[in-house]
Amino acid sequence: MGCCESAPNSDVLNSSEIIFLSCSLTSAENAIMNKVLINMPGRCRQAIIDLPAQPFLHFYKLHLDAVDYVKRREFSFACLCEYQALAGIVALMPNNKGHFIFAEMCHLLSQCYLELNAIDGAVYCARAALGIFDKHCPTKHAALSKKYFQLALALKAGQEWREAIACLNEALRTARLSNERDQSYIRMLEADLALTK
């Protein structure tokens, strides 16, 4: 394998495992690549490993910038960075638009659009995030619940009450299936559902 090495496609990895190591990247860049790969299903990793590393990292760093902007509640900047990141990675993977990496990016864009009152964009991105995540990780119930909840929020903002209620019910159902049950999150979903009905 020489200078660039990758690990098998196992879904069971811990955060200290090295999946990817490239001599052409700095240690910080290799760390980012490993974090990206560890957080995705094993069957999705090779598509990322096969990308040219520097362009991928350039666009992925825009995604990380967007995450930081959301934490600071600077949604316009977050939206701009995330849109550029998404468009750039889609350009690198034109035949793989349903790749797992796009689930979190679409979820974040949905949050930004909702905060900016761009309801159609929020709904569209939330649907995309949910579809991609459910396709790749249907048994990761806690995270799947959050995708349903984001779609419900966007639908409520667009006054699509029936579908919002269905999504809230799914968010609640999947949250209850999770091995890592968050009781305060479940209570919040129950209250939200009661208010929406």
Report whether pLDDT(15) > 70. Answer: no
Strand pairing category for 20-22 and 4-6:
antiparallel
Q: What is the mean pLDDT of the chain?
A: 90
Specify the pTM: 0.88
- Contact, 41 vs 12, CB < 8 A? no
The values of phi and psi at residue 22, to 5°, are -125, 135
Over pLDDT 90: what percentage of the chain?
80
Q: Output DSSP code: residue 141.
A: H
Bridge partners for 3 per DSSP? none
pLDDT at 13 over 80: no
Torsions phi, psi for 85 (to 5 deg)? -65, -45
Domains of the chain by start residue, with CATH: 1-50 (no CATH), 51-196 (1.25.40.10)
**What is the C-alpha to C-alpha distance for residues 13 and 82, in angstroms, rounded to an integer?**
27
